[in-house]
């Protein structure tokens, strides 16, 4: 009987009020559900229980009206696709006409699946409408933000940006140029010449214009709305200072009365020895030609000692010739064409080569007296390379670096000829091999190989691989130990 009464009451309520009320005779909306017990401690359940479905059922629905609400109680079925692309956790969802939308993202118990936590692939174009909001990426690592690895790389650890490189060494660094193009402000054609911008070619920085009719102009700001032209390089090569229409290779215009045009200072009318002329002024301001007599344009003889004080400055000589820089011809010679240095020779055939003079001293680190024997260093004598010590008590020691503060001795040749491998040799041993984890390995020969040895000295010792024995020559035959 109750099942019949409820529909009758519901129909009566609709006709009477055009609104539906549950537990109220005065509904305040199209559907007004009033709690049976709004206060107190009664234990009966009040609330609205909407349809509960799993994700697969929600994904399968067709003809869903916009704003339809469901409760997804299971996400182990179905998939994150189609209308359920956002259904990644149990909870309430409504249909916005395209996809299911989570009613409250903050209560999701599933892990965040945005690109900040997982990799992903865009299924279509995406647009971020910022309006007046900021979009900020924070990081503290090299290549902390990048597009395709090296196309655009931001080193947030060192505050650097790389374009075409993921390892910028400056606030802004470009990778290898496209042809000779680095920065293109505008172009007439896609090639290495018809563009306005900057490029690099053969290690030369290029300030490029798009055509012979395009000028290079250097300006400074007069005020907030205008600029002042300082210098112009025409497309035909003419340079104008103070004028934008130079008609000669260099034209200077003061632009105002009583303004100096060209001033040359610190030149005299003296005529020093040398060749080559240049334009200058004398102490009275008269225009003269002076002879350029520095050592870079003419040979010369020093009249007194000369000292070059460099301070923090570099002194660089550039050349591309054999013996491009030398002292007295071959005392010290730099072959700048082949990157070689000769000492005592102007024709080095190695990166560093010494002359073939009759002395065994080539590199001397320390000497007792000036002779060919009492020095520490390297030399050559009778086609032999000498590692020289200055006395019979001086040793040759070979080291390897163990760490930043200590070295390990590998071999020592004593001044009296004793040899130690792994340690200094004992006073009574001509050869001592020291090791705690390795042995001494004799030459291993077959009997046939052993018998090919000629002029065998007494005491020569081998290991015979055929007999498995150590054998020595006793001046007449081979004897097994």
- Could you tell me if 368 and 429 lie in one domain? yes
Q: What is the pLDDT of residue 256?
A: 61
Q: Is the pLDDT of residue 443 over 80?
A: yes
Pairwise pLDDT comparison (294 vs 388), residue with the higher score: 388
State how beta strands 31-33 and 20-22 pair: parallel
Pairwise pLDDT comparison (455 vs 14), residue with the higher score: 455
What percent of the chain is predicted at pLDDT more than 70?
A: 85
Is 269 a domain residue?
yes
Residues forming a β-bridge with 74: 54
- Could you tell me if 367 and 427 lie in one domain? yes
Contact 263, 252 (CB under 8 A): no
Is 35 a domain residue?
no
Q: What is the pLDDT of residue 293?
A: 60
Is 6 a domain residue?
no
- Could you tell me if 417 and 449 lie in one domain? no
Distance, in Å, from the CA atom of 190 to the CA atom of 196, rounded to the nearest integer, reads 11
Banded pLDDT at 274 (limits 50, 70, 90) = very low
- Could you tell me if 80 and 98 lie in one domain? yes
Q: What is the pLDDT of residue 110?
A: 45
Banded pLDDT at 279 (limits 50, 70, 90) = low
Of 348, 301, 308, nearest in space to 324 by CA: 348
Of 376, 434, 428, 440, nearest in space to 408 by CA: 434
Distance, in Å, from the CA atom of 367 to the CA atom of 377, rounded to the nearest integer, reads 9
Pairwise pLDDT comparison (281 vs 406), residue with the higher score: 406
Q: End-to-end alpha-carbon separation of the chain, Å?
A: 120
Q: What is the pLDDT of residue 266?
A: 61
Q: What is the pLDDT of residue 72?
A: 95
Average pLDDT of the segment spanning 76-98 = 93
Q: Is the pLDDT of residue 422 over 60?
A: yes
What percent of the chain is predicted at pLDDT more than 90?
A: 22
Q: What is the pLDDT of residue 290?
A: 59
Q: What is the pLDDT of residue 40?
A: 87
Q: What is the pLDDT of residue 271?
A: 44
Is 418 a domain residue?
yes
114-123, 401-410, 430-439, 470-479, range with greatest mean pLDDT = 470-479
Which residue reads 């007449």 in tokens? 476
Of 71, 92, 91, 95, nearest in space to 83 by CA: 95
Q: What is the pLDDT of residue 57?
A: 95
Distance, in Å, from the CA atom of 448 to the CA atom of 464, rounded to the nearest integer, reads 10
Distance, in Å, from the CA atom of 148 to the CA atom of 157, rounded to the nearest integer, reads 19
pLDDT digits (tens, 9 = 90+) for 350-405: 998 888 876 788 888 888 888 877 888 888 877 788 777 877 778 888 888 888 78
Is 70 a domain residue?
yes
Distance, in Å, from the CA atom of 253 to the CA atom of 31, rounded to the nearest integer, reads 89
- Residue 228: domain span: 223-255
Is 294 a domain residue?
yes
Q: Which strands sit side by side in the sheet containing 384-388, from one edge to the other? A: 363-367, 375-381, 384-388
Q: What is the pLDDT of residue 288?
A: 66
3-state secondary structure 289-317: EEECCCCCCCCCCCCCCCCCCCCCCCCCC
- Could you tell me if 56 and 89 lie in one domain? yes
Distance, in Å, from the CA atom of 367 to the CA atom of 348, rounded to the nearest integer, reads 26
- Could you tell me if 387 and 426 lie in one domain? yes
- Could you tell me if 270 and 329 lie in one domain? no
Is 347 a domain residue?
yes
Average pLDDT of the segment spanning 131-151 = 86
Domains in the chain, number: 6
- Could you tell me if 285 and 335 lie in one domain? no
pLDDT digits (tens, 9 = 90+) for 93-113: 999 999 999 986 544 444 455
Q: What is the pLDDT of residue 12?
A: 53
Distance, in Å, from the CA atom of 408 to the CA atom of 400, rounded to the nearest integer, reads 5
Q: Is the pLDDT of residue 2 over 90?
A: no
Average pLDDT, the chain: 82
Banded pLDDT at 183 (limits 50, 70, 90) = confident
Residue 246: both structure tokens together: 């130079």
Q: What is the pLDDT of residue 287?
A: 67
Contact 244, 232 (CB under 8 A): yes
Residue 149: both structure tokens together: 């690895």
Contact 328, 342 (CB under 8 A): no
Q: Is the pLDDT of residue 6 over 70?
A: no
Distance, in Å, from the CA atom of 85 to the CA atom of 190, rounded to the nearest integer, reads 44
Q: What is the pLDDT of residue 74?
A: 95
- Could you tell me if 239 and 289 lie in one domain? no
Is 310 a domain residue?
no
Could you tell me which residues come within 8 angstroms of residue 204 by beta carbon, excluding any fewer than 6 positions away? Answer: none
pLDDT digits (tens, 9 = 90+) for 25-48: 888 888 888 888 888 888 888 888
């Amino acid at each position: 009987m109750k099942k019949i009464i409820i529909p009758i009451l519901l129909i009566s309520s609709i006709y009477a009020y055009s609104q539906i009320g549950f537990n109220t005779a005065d509904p305040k909306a199209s559907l007004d559900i009033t709690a049976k017990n709004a206060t107190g401690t009664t234990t009966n359940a009040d609330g609205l229980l909407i349809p509960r479905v799993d994700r697969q059922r929600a994904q399968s629905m067709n003809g869903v009206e916009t704003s339809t609400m469901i409760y997804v109680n299971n996400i182990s079925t179905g998939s994150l696709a189609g209308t359920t692309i956002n259904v990644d956790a149990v909870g309430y969802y409504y249909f916005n006409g395209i996809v299911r939308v989570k009613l409250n993202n903050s209560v999701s118990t599933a892990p965040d699946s945005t690109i900040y936590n997982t990799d992903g692939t865009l299924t279509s174009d995406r647009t971020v409408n910022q309006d007046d909001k900021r979009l900020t990426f924070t990081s503290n690592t090299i290549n902390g933000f990048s597009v395709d690895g090296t196309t655009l790389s931001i080193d947030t650890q060192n505050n650097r940006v790389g374009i075409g490189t993921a390892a910028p060494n400056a606030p802004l660094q470009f990778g290898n140029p496209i042809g000779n193009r680095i920065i293109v402000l505008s172009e007439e054609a896609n090639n290495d010449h018809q563009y306005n911008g900057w490029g690099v070619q053969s290690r030369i920085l290029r300030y490029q214009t798009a055509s012979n009719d395009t000028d290079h102009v250097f300006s400074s700001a007069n005020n907030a709305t205008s600029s002042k032209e300082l210098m112009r390089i025409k497309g035909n090569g003419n340079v104008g200072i103070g004028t934008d229409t130079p008609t000669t290779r260099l034209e200077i215009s003061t632009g105002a009365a009583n303004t100096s045009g060209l001033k040359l200072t610190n030149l005299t009318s003296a005529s020093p020895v040398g060749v080559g002329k240049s334009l200058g002024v004398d102490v009275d301001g008269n225009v003269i030609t002076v002879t350029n007599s520095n050592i870079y344009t003419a040979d010369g003889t020093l009249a007194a000692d000369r000292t070059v004080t460099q301070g923090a400055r570099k002194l660089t000589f550039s050349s591309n010739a054999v013996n491009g820089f030398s002292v007295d011809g071959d005392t010290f010679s730099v072959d700048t064409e082949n990157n070689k240095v000769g000492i005592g020779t102007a024709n080095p055939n190695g990166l560093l080569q010494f002359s073939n003079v009759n002395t065994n001293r080539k590199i001397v680190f320390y000497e007792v007296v000036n002779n060919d024997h009492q020095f520490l260093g390297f030399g050559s004598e009778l086609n032999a390379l000498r590692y020289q010590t200055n006395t019979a008590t001086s040793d040759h020691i070979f080291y390897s670096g163990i760490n930043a503060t200590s070295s390990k001795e590998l071999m020592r040749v004593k001044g009296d000829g004793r040899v130690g491998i792994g340690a200094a040799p004992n006073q009574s041993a001509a050869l001592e091999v020291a090791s705690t984890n390795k042995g001494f390995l004799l030459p291993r020969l077959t009997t046939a190989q052993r018998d090919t040895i000629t002029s065998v000295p007494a005491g020569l010792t081998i290991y015979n691989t055929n007999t498995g024995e150590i054998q020595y020559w006793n001046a007449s035959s081979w004897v097994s130990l």
